[in-house]
Amino acid sequence: MRQNAKVDVIIPAYKPKESYIKLIEMLEKQTYPVNKIIVINTEEKYYTELMYGQVLDKTFDNIHVSHISKREFNHARTRRDGVERSDADIFVCMTDDAVPKDEFLIENLISPLLSNKACVSYARQIAKKESDEIEKFTRNFNYPRKSRLKGAADMEQLGIKTYFCSNVCAAYNREVYDRLGGFEEYAIFNEDMVYAAKAVKAGYKIAYTASAEVIHSHDYNAIQLFKRNFDMGVSQAEHPEIFKRISSTSEGKKLVLQTIDHLKKRKKAYLVPKLVFNSTFKYLGYRLGVMYEYLPKWFVKKCSSMPEYWVGRDVYENNRKINYHEGYGINATERVDGRRIHKASQMDDTYRGDGYKSTLKDEIKVRPKDKMIDRSHAIGTNKEVAWKNNDVNDEYRRSTATPKELKAFRQLTDEKKNVVNKTVSEENKDISIKKDAEIKKDTEKSDDKNVSNITEDKKTSEGKTTENKVEVKEAVNNE
């Protein structure tokens, strides 16, 4: 790769804090210049609240911000969209809360790519000063001080760590990225590891660059850890070709045991119960995530940290079965009672009861182009649309509702139908009364016309009779 390669930074943001402003300021100070900073923000109102009174956009002209809704976000597709907006030789994925430690981050991070040693390079993460001892040790365990180049030959020694990569801060060779097909089009988690696994299997190497450092850590509670690890289990279950033959639980056990030893050495054994408690929740979340296909849909959404993902996933899976060159997957045999049955919805819909078949309108709302906004973002297989009216909210509520909420929603829907039927019947009644009045009026006009005709005929006949009498009388007198 050429030494003066162009570098763009892609940042998905959601409810950004002050760390986001520090991140932008540090990126603008890098020794290796950043061409564009592409920000894809989820929910504009949160971004506006933070940036009110700020001068970042006015100070720097290389910041490009776009906004999406929460339902549109997922870890893989959002980053794919960002890559599509970049024309750089190297793009760096970062999160809105990862702050570069110094001005040499980009220079050190892209070094393995410029030398063609690797196609991906990810940075070291350092815990914040206010983080507890457990979080600090966890960061050091996953991101040690020594750099390493990983490839297929390291599988026996490193196991699942061979594929380890983090989009908290990672640089990608764009040419190789396009060659391998990029990130998954739809992923709940681990889009970075899935891509790294594809790269390793294709013969490329992954570089862990410890000299490139970002300050990034979290203080999650047990429930948050449960949900995150549930999503991790889901992502691994969705890619058995990568994770089925590699155990990730062994690495987790090693982390727990080493953390306990570290806490004892630091005389902070009082944190061991917290570690065990949180680790139990992490393990339970992971095991349930791996088995998500056998769990009820409502329960899966409760366990996930991204319930919106499951709504969009249904749409995405349905869209994949549509041939956009031949129509929306409908043929003559699928037209039943005038209703279109979608190919991807032949199973009974659990939300509507046995025997109900989801229609095309239920699964993918199709309306004229002048009534919809395209949300495909230039990705051919994602043809989701958002309607200008609020009817789509009903579908969203139905898809995300608990059984109790669903019952209330059905009752509300029935009430709406009754109101509509009542309105229609009243309109029909008014039309009927109006028609009857018109018919009565026409009948009265017809009767009046007939009466006038009879009267005229009578007068004419009486006049003729009088004339005859006069003629007879004159004839008698003449005689």
Domain ranges of the chain: 7-218, 307-401
Q: E strands of 15-154, at which residues? A: 36-42, 63-68, 90-94, 99-100, 120-126, 148-150
CA angle 315, 321, 41 (to 5 degrees): 35
Task: Please identify which residue in the block is written with the tokens 């239920």.
Answer: 362
β-bridge mates for residue 234, sequence order? none
Best CA proximity match to 176, nearest among 207, 194, 150, 202: 202
Pick the CATH number of 7-218 from 3.30.499.10, 3.90.550.10, 3.40.225.10, 3.90.380.10: 3.90.550.10
pLDDT of residue 324: 52
CB 202 within 8 A of CB 180: yes
pLDDT of residue 323: 57
pLDDT of residue 226: 96
pLDDT of residue 387: 35
Q: What is the pLDDT along the chain (479 residues), one digit of tens a residue?
A: 777 899 999 999 999 999 999 999 999 999 999 999 999 999 999 998 898 888 777 788 899 999 998 888 888 889 999 999 999 999 999 999 999 999 999 999 999 999 999 999 999 999 999 999 999 999 999 999 999 999 999 988 888 899 999 999 999 999 999 999 999 888 888 999 999 999 999 999 999 999 999 999 999 999 999 999 999 999 999 998 888 878 777 888 899 999 999 999 999 999 999 999 999 999 999 999 999 999 998 999 999 998 888 877 777 666 666 655 555 544 455 444 444 444 444 444 444 444 444 444 444 443 343 434 444 443 333 333 333 334 444 554 455 556 666 666 667 666 666 665 666 677 667 777 777 777 777 776 665 666 565 566 555 665 555 555 555 455 545 55
